[in-house]
Structure 1
Amino acid sequence: MITNQRLASGAARMDSAMRERGLWPDADSPWVRDAMTALPRHAFAPDTLWSWNGHEWVSADRATDPERWADLVYPGPDDSTVIQVTDGLATSSLSCVAVVADMLDSLILEPEHSVLELGTGAGWNAALLAHRAGPGGQVVSMETDPVLAEAAARRLKAHGCDVEVRCGDGSLGAPERGPYDRVIATYAVDTLPWPWIQATRPAGRIVYPWGRMGHFALTVADDGQSATGWLQGLALFMPDRHTPQASPVPATLRASGHGAVTDAELLADLATGHLLFALRVSHPHILITVEQHNGQPRAELRDQTGRTVRAELTTNAQVQISDSGKDLWADLRSGYQLWREHGRPEQWDFGMTVTPHAQTVWVRSPDNGPYTSPPHRPGSESDQ
């Protein structure tokens, strides 16, 4: 009884927080909120959930700690619920409600659509898709983990959701059941798998997290040989388990170096999502964390080798940079320079085009070419 009351209270609190912040897509996709009401999040949460205590992942069992379990099911709109920990790492989760709603809105899903989902997880997102597609639609969901796949299939069946759950490598898709009107992934990839485009009808839509930082919505061209679209939102995502780490940025992608850049300006702009996303495009090998300390931004930079740089403002408004791996800060200054040369684009100015041979992130228009090339200027050497 306590759990049911706490779950009801948590669901109401979540709905209120989403409404107050304007996060429900009621104007374009009112079905999202209706589906989450009909198929509540807690109905798809497994009996064991996990939380981070600052040192390790700690389990919460529904039977022995029902109140804590219920609180983990309904955190804030921006918080996910970890449902699986493997070798000390979180490997699956119920995504945060705000992101689920935003991605479903971006999908522009209609009744009777056929949908391919990559990453079944607990099965909640697949249930929401099936609710919208209806009896005339089709939902196929791929999950690489057999334990998760089996459990999700049971939950979906128990709640009357018509979803075909398949266990396998999501990067390969399920082409034999396509083509699909819509494709959606619940985990991040650095490179969009071409089979996802091949499995989508011309003019079909693909929504997926890219680089663990934001999600794109791409539309497949009429000839099926490319897909193009825009960044839709920012959030952290769990990566594809088969995706290798990003490679260091080639030196040829660094900016030309025109114009003065101060470290204080860089640090201040790092506090915005716009520059952070641009740096994810130009320098994907650098993991950047920014926080406020005594009212001032403080940044930490890390790369795959473990090099770390910390940067913060001193009392005399100078930026103090730690000695370890200072070349990372030099790379960051290069990325900042590039962002300024492109006119300080906002995150929503970024788009992507994928073909069988290339994946290009551009800013403002596909015709501008890759973002990592400084913008073309009339009268430059290329005009001579």
Structure 2
Amino acid sequence: MSGGALSSEWAPSFDAVPRSAFLPELIWPFDMKAGTSIAVSRTDDPAVWCGYADADVPVVTQWDDGEHTGRDPGQVSTSSASMPSVVFRMLRDLDVRPGNRVLEIGTGTGWNAALLAHRVGAENVVTVEVDGAVAERARSALERFGAGVRVIHGDGYEGCPESAPYDRIIVTAGVRHVPFAWVEQTRPGGLIVAPWGTHYGNGDCVARLAVAADGQSASGAFTGPVEFMKLRAQRLPPVVHGDYVTGGPGDRDTSSTSLTENMFLGERFSSQRFAVSLRVPHCHHVIADKRDGARPVWLYGLTDRSWACVMFRDDGEARVWQSGPRRLWSEAEAAHRWWENEGRPGHDRFGLTVTAEGQAAWLDTPNRSWPV
């Protein structure tokens, strides 16, 4: 269930705490073959339900912040049970020891909190959930299972200062800014593990941050790419194309690029995409569908109405259009060139440092950092 990556220290917890004990009657697992979420009822088809509960796939448990009704998938998934392999990877990164005090941001189904409780003791785990209905369901599931974890309905962005300090903080939602409150609530030498990224895209990378001896910063390398639902306080508002692309051809610059689609985009979780996301601030990109051998990629500025479009083609050089105070494609192309010149670094060569003044990304060492 953990994708073949389960280590000996966590095996007893995963054996004793099945994900199925924390899933609701109706779930929407992601079907890998269909490439979409499907509705599965334990009442109607218990064998299929149990199969997905035990499979290494993400399972949506809430759509549209609870406004969704019916069996069909909703518009936006807003609570879920993560892939068991991802859950294990993050718990491994957390490096908990028996007796550690742990704060979890994002209770979800309660399964992750129950795994932690089995390892460190339920009295040492506090979990915070922003959605009241989700928090109540998780509290009930944890009580039925016999894991007396303290579940708090609140905004995890603020942490849980009344129970601090913690030895470990683990975050189960995508973060765009690590609040310094989490650093303040972690003991010096403690760890914060969180999926982090920029608004460039939906992808995240797991940051493993060690709190400094003086408690004034937390820093560490990324351990690998993931994708999580975003912390509700940090969701990106909708980017409306029509608010950017206005006027006629005279309002934009036209050029070309020698970069190909594969060179620039790579795979979904490619390190070049992550590098560009770190080097082109306050920008969101959208990859459109390919038609007739052509794929447009759009870049939108988040602090002004700058935009760019590169039209990659299978049979020729890509054309570029740019408009606004920033030349976003020029920035993106320069970021890709920087990544190439640095030896095409993977995710684990990048890191993040958080202080009271803000956060900075770095390559290889915190001494080579820039604000993000």
> Structures share a fold, TM > 0.5?
yes
Number of the residue aligned with 1:111: 98
Name the CA shift for 1:47/1:360 in 2 (closer, same or farther; >3 Å).
same
Number of the residue aligned with 1:145: 131
Rounded to whole Å, the distance in 2 between the matches of 1:297 and 1:109 is 48
1:358 aligns with 2:336: no
Number of the residue aligned with 1:168: 154
1:46 aligns with 2:33: no
Number of the residue aligned with 1:262: 258
Aligned 8 A contact 1:225 1:355 in 2: yes
Rounded to whole Å, the distance in 2 between the matches of 1:286 and 1:330 is 15
Code of the aligned partner of 1:267: N
Aligned-residue offset at 1:314: 2.3
Secondary structure of the equivalent of 2:87? Answer: helix
Aligned-residue offset at 1:71: 4.0
Map of 1:242-257 to 2, 5 A cutoff?
A: 242-245=233-236
Number of the residue aligned with 2:88: 101
Number of the residue aligned with 1:133: 120
Rounded to whole Å, the distance in 2 between the matches of 1:325 and 1:276 is 22
1:282 aligns with 2:273: no
Aligned 8 A contact 1:363 1:371 in 2: no
Number of the residue aligned with 1:208: 194
Name the CA shift for 1:280/1:45 in 2 (closer, same or farther; >3 Å).
same
Name the CA shift for 1:40/1:299 in 2 (closer, same or farther; >3 Å).
farther
Rounded to whole Å, the distance in 1 between the matches of 2:360 and 2:232 is 23
Secondary structure of the equivalent of 1:366? Answer: coil
Q: How many percent of aligned residue pairs carry the same amino acid?
A: 33
Aligned 8 A contact 1:153 1:165 in 2: yes
Rounded to whole Å, the distance in 2 between the matches of 1:243 and 1:145 is 15
Map of 1:306-325 to 2, 5 A cutoff?
A: 309=309, 311-315=311-315, 318-321=316-319
Name the CA shift for 1:369/1:247 in 2 (closer, same or farther; >3 Å).
farther
Number of the residue aligned with 1:241: 232
Aligned 8 A contact 1:190 1:246 in 2: no
Rounded to whole Å, the distance in 2 between the matches of 1:74 and 1:321 is 47
Name the CA shift for 1:56/1:209 in 2 (closer, same or farther; >3 Å).
closer
Name the CA shift for 1:363/1:291 in 2 (closer, same or farther; >3 Å).
farther
Secondary structure of the equivalent of 2:277? Answer: helix
Map of 1:336-351 to 2, 5 A cutoff?
A: 336-351=336-351
Moved more, 104-113 or 59-68: 59-68
Code of the aligned partner of 1:279: V
Secondary structure of the equivalent of 1:263? Answer: coil
Secondary structure of the equivalent of 1:237? Answer: coil
Secondary structure of the equivalent of 2:128? Answer: strand
Rounded to whole Å, the distance in 2 between the matches of 1:247 and 1:221 is 37
Name the CA shift for 1:61/1:277 in 2 (closer, same or farther; >3 Å).
same
Aligned-residue offset at 1:52: 7.0
CA deviation profile, 1:222-244 (whole Å, cap 9, x unmatched):
11110111101101111011115
Aligned 8 A contact 1:301 1:328 in 2: no
Aligned-residue offset at 1:367: 1.1
Aligned-residue offset at 1:66: 2.8
Secondary structure of the equivalent of 1:197? Answer: helix
Name the CA shift for 1:336/1:290 in 2 (closer, same or farther; >3 Å).
farther
CA deviation profile, 1:311-341 (whole Å, cap 9, x unmatched):
44424xx344586989654442122123234
Moved more, 151-160 or 64-73: 64-73
Aligned-CA RMSD value: 3.5
Aligned-residue offset at 1:163: 0.7
Rounded to whole Å, the distance in 1 between the matches of 2:148 and 2:348 is 35
Number of the residue aligned with 2:13: 35
Code of the aligned partner of 1:31: E
